Structure 1
Amino acid sequence: MKTKGKSWIAFLLIILLIGFFGYAGAYGIKIFNAYEILPFSSVITRGLDLQGGVSVVEEITTDDGEVKSEDLEKTKNLLSLRVNKMGVAETTVATEGSNRIRVDIPGKFESNSIIDTLTKTGELKFVGPDNEVILTGKSIKNATARPGQTGEPLIDLEFNDEGVEKFREATQKYIGQKISIYMDEELLTAPVVKAVINDGKAVIEGSKSLEEAKTQAGVIQSGSLPVTLKTVSVKTVGPTLGSNAIPSSLKAGMVGVAIIFIFMISIYKVPGILGDIALITYILLVLYIFAALGVVLTLPGIAGFLLTVGMAVDANILIFERTKEELKLGKSVKSSIDAGFHRALSSIIDSNTTTMIGGLVLYFFGSGAVKGFAITLMIGILVSMFTAITMTRTLVKLWVNMGMLNKPSLFGVRKRG
């Protein structure tokens, strides 16, 4: 009786949690006016194809025709700084191939002004507290980020011959004061001068993280980057596509999920209901992961997500079919469930592993929309394995302990006459 009572309590808690997070994801919720969970529509980033905007592809050219990977990364950081300065949220700056950078700017439709902003020559300046320009990016020889002895993020600066003398004079003049570093009038960092620098090698402290330090170092280095940007592609996407696509996708998804629910219940009876609960959990988990990771949702991404819903159901079907086979052999309900999950596990892992490999190939060798599809596909695969193997099994075992799932007929298995 104790086991039965505990199982009832555990099951009801699971249902309450699913209901709570489902409502919060759909409508948002405030907790004691101190915490707030925003709805998925507010926190999941929509791609360019869903809200319209401009997509620009820039190609890097150099004097010797060779583009180094570090130059590509530094240029990407510089372009990120520029598009973020436009005040546009949800911009995407990504490398394509070995010498191209794609910039997606949602909500903007004036491509000429955007191209001018992206391709202009950047100006890096070191400015003293009296607003005097000490030196420019032409004096930078190298800038790299690294962790310090205690793990704090640091940026190592090295100046060329021209910059060594200028920086020595500046550190003598402004010791104990701040020297601000600007890129295109955007303040990158403002370290305090703690000593006179005579050898042209300085260390900048104060970055919040090593990742931020790497970005700042890349932008500082790019102030003297000998590359030229050439616009090779400009695509303007109207906002009407997204306004039509999102409702249509939601409708298709709801119809598809509803059909799956009916199918599972009609074929597998009570376990089908539990499989549907696990499927709802799967959908919520994926959407919350999208929000947490900042996944940019595109039309191909929606397609990948809906595809994984079917794959999540497929895992449950394998488990329930194996369980039914064991029940038909005359085994008890508990032993049939254990054997069904055990026998289905290898098939689930094999099928999901092959799909995962395909997703990895699409992600690393694809670009743009293909990557969006691959990301949602891979996240969906991992979550579907968790919900099928863990969530479905937990729910089924709880119902067995509750005494609600103790007959083969409840699995859709008829006794032999």
Structure 2
Amino acid sequence: MLQFELWKKVLIWLTCAVGLWLALPNAFYSRVEQHNDALAAIEVGGETPALAEQVAEWPNWMPSALVNLGLDLRGGAHLLAEVEVADVYASRMEAMWPEIRDALRPERAEIGTIRLQPSDPQEIHVRISQPEGMARALQVVRDLARPIQTLTGVGSTDIEVRGEGDTLIVSLSEAEKLASDDRTVSQSLEIIRRRIDEVGTREPTIQRQGKDRILIQVPGIGSASELKEIIGTTAQLTFNPVVGRGSDANANPGVGNKLVPALEDEGVYYTLESAPVVTGEELVDAQPAFDQNGRPAVNFRFNTSGARKFGDYTAENIGSPFAIVLDDEVISAPVIQSHIPGGSGIITGNFTVEESTNLAVLLRAGALPARLEFLEERTIGPELGQDSIEAGRIATMVAFVAVLVFMALSYGLFGIFANIALILNVALIFGLLSLIGATLTLPGIAGIVLTVGMAVDANVLVFERIREELKTSRGPARAIELGYEKALSAILDANITTFITAVILFAIGSGPVRGFAITLGLGILTSVFTAIYVTRLIIVMWYDRRRPKTIEV
């Protein structure tokens, strides 16, 4: 006999009710989106009457999670960037010179004086005055080498050291270059993600492509140029000792120094020591602020290591200028007036409020380890996204109506029961997408359309089995029961194999493929639930009330 225990009935209807409840905000998308944006703005900047009015557009006791719209639906910006990994080699060599110099100085008795020589940026050339001490110099510098902590670099060290006459040459090993390339791209990927998250955009797609490329897609942002402004600046902050100041752009800064233009004073150039005292990598916080004159500025704070180096240098160099350099431009070069303990300070300049806020975001997110070369950029207007939504909506509605009509004509009253379950099925899909914060793309809409077509497949299997049982003179109750029992294995087999395919697509796919896999996988789960439980429960409730002697399917 057909039976459903009370707790099962309650659980099935409760699941359907929760799914409808979670999906409901998507029916009022614009209103709920304004409500959510206003709440986020209040958390950052405090409440205003305009924001309070937007918050009131949607009740706080209602769910407010929405299905995020992808780039092809909302519009936004698309960038393909190539990381200039070779830039890091020169930076590594530049940063290594003070360590090599400090290691060789105690050995002067054997190697004589040491002098840095002009060389390729990816190498360090050091001349020693006593060539007979070259063996000792090579040993000392080789002791500075560190093992490479990667599987491909097992047994290798990060630097190669060789001697040519009276010149010691240090360069990165090939294994270290490979490891450095991988680290640089991974670090760039993470910093780009943090910078975009700081701005508060919804569901960006940031993925590595190939060896040294990064794909960036951000829905809802105005243009590709706006996105480039957020992520394209390396924001490499350093604090360098000042050697001199002048107006000659072609002046020779000398070995170990570099010539850097001033940001505010056109025609002014600073000669700085190449090796910085402290870098932006040792920053732990940066916030927009105002200086003592009420002009926009940026407060910063170093970690323990940076604070110690910053404090020691300021204590030992009172009265000397100290350059704050951002992306090879001197922002300011104040004279150190006193010891600055604690590792905190302020960056002042001719900033606007917006520029100081963006600079704080860039510094807080961290410096890009290398420049980005943008190979491809596209701006997708919101009107194109709206066209995609309309096209997807029409396709879904056509498929939906066609399936409803087919089921009603083919199976009569039982087809109507299946149609009710189908409507609940689509609502459950949107409820789950909202719950997990998934992003809906055009391929995702295709997945929903496919799910609508597949959703009735399980009901068709059941109804056809019921028809066969009725032909063997079974009673209505027994025919319905056997129909569900005998169709269950076929339903599970078909849907499990499709679900495995969806999982594989999600695991190895990216972007649009994943969007399709998510909606397809969730659609399979909800389809099986509505076919096995919801449709059956509706039929059982109808049968218990009517108790028909015969049924037609």
TM-score (norm 2): 0.52
Report the secondary structure of 2:62's partner residue. Answer: strand
Partners of 1:138 and 1:26 in 2: CA distance: 46
Sequence identity of aligned pairs in percent? 33
| Residue matched to 1:247 | 390
Check whether the contact 1:124–1:184 (CA below 8 A) recurs between aligned residues.
no
Check whether the contact 2:20–2:428 (CA below 8 A) recurs between aligned residues.
no
2:518 is equivalent to residue 375 of structure 1 = yes
1:67-106 superposed Cα distances (whole Å, 9 cap, x missing partner): 6776555433311222234454443333445643322123
Q: 1:79 and 1:354, CA in 2 relative to 1: closer, same or farther beyond 3 A? A: same
Q: 1:302 and 1:69, CA in 2 relative to 1: closer, same or farther beyond 3 A? A: farther
Check whether the contact 2:72–2:442 (CA below 8 A) recurs between aligned residues.
yes
Structural RMSD (CA):
4.3
Check whether the contact 2:75–2:381 (CA below 8 A) recurs between aligned residues.
yes
- In the alignment, which of 328, 344, 360 is matched to residue 185 of structure 1? 360
Check whether the contact 1:125–1:136 (CA below 8 A) recurs between aligned residues.
yes
Amino acid across the alignment from 1:59 = E
Check whether the contact 2:76–2:379 (CA below 8 A) recurs between aligned residues.
yes
Check whether the contact 1:53–1:238 (CA below 8 A) recurs between aligned residues.
yes
1:141-182 superposed Cα distances (whole Å, 9 cap, x missing partner): xxxxxxxxxxxxxxxx998xx748438979x9559x99xxx9
Q: 1:68 and 1:372, CA in 2 relative to 1: closer, same or farther beyond 3 A? A: farther
Check whether the contact 2:463–2:483 (CA below 8 A) recurs between aligned residues.
yes
| Residue matched to 2:78 | 55
Query: Which has the higher mean CA deviation after the structures are superposed, 105-114 or 377-386?
Result: 105-114
Partners of 1:374 and 1:395 in 2: CA distance: 30
Amino acid across the alignment from 2:521 = M
Q: 1:281 and 1:52, CA in 2 relative to 1: closer, same or farther beyond 3 A? A: same
Amino acid across the alignment from 1:76 = L
| Residue matched to 1:349 | 492
- In the alignment, which of 196, 216, 220 is matched to residue 103 of structure 1? 216
2:521 is equivalent to residue 386 of structure 1 = no
2:114 is equivalent to residue 114 of structure 1 = no
Report the secondary structure of 1:186's partner residue. Answer: helix
2:450 is equivalent to residue 307 of structure 1 = yes
Q: Which consecutive aligned stretches of 4+ in structure 1 deviate over 6 angstroms post-superposition?
A: 13-16, 28-32, 67-70, 167-170
Structure with higher Rg: it is 2
Check whether the contact 1:94–1:103 (CA below 8 A) recurs between aligned residues.
yes
| Residue matched to 2:45 | none
Partners of 1:351 and 1:98 in 2: CA distance: 39
1:97-151 superposed Cα distances (whole Å, 9 cap, x missing partner): 564332212343532343243232144799xxxxxxx9544458xxxxxxxxxxx
Check whether the contact 1:125–1:183 (CA below 8 A) recurs between aligned residues.
no
Q: CA deviation at 1:280?
A: 0.9
- In the alignment, which of 235, 238, 247 is matched to residue 378 of structure 2? 235
Report the secondary structure of 1:56's partner residue. Answer: strand
| Residue matched to 2:432 | 289
1:25-83 superposed Cα distances (whole Å, 9 cap, x missing partner): 53489999551345xxx822111111222111223353424467765554333112222
Which residues in structure 2 correspond to 1:53-202 (within 5 Å)? 53-63=76-86, 64-66=177-179, 72-97=185-210, 99-123=212-236, 135-139=278-282, 163=306, 165-166=308-309, 174=342, 184-186=359-361
How many pairs are equivalent?
Answer: 344
Q: Which runs of 5+ in 2 are unaligned?
A: 33-55, 87-176, 240-276, 284-301, 315-339, 346-356
1:392-414 superposed Cα distances (whole Å, 9 cap, x missing partner): 2222222222235x34433x2xx
Partners of 1:105 and 1:32 in 2: CA distance: 26
Q: CA deviation at 1:304?
A: 0.9
Check whether the contact 2:204–2:217 (CA below 8 A) recurs between aligned residues.
yes
Check whether the contact 1:61–1:67 (CA below 8 A) recurs between aligned residues.
no
Q: 1:266 and 1:79, CA in 2 relative to 1: closer, same or farther beyond 3 A? A: same
Report the secondary structure of 1:35's partner residue. Answer: coil
TM-score (norm 1): 0.68
Q: CA deviation at 1:184?
A: 4.6
Check whether the contact 1:307–1:377 (CA below 8 A) recurs between aligned residues.
yes
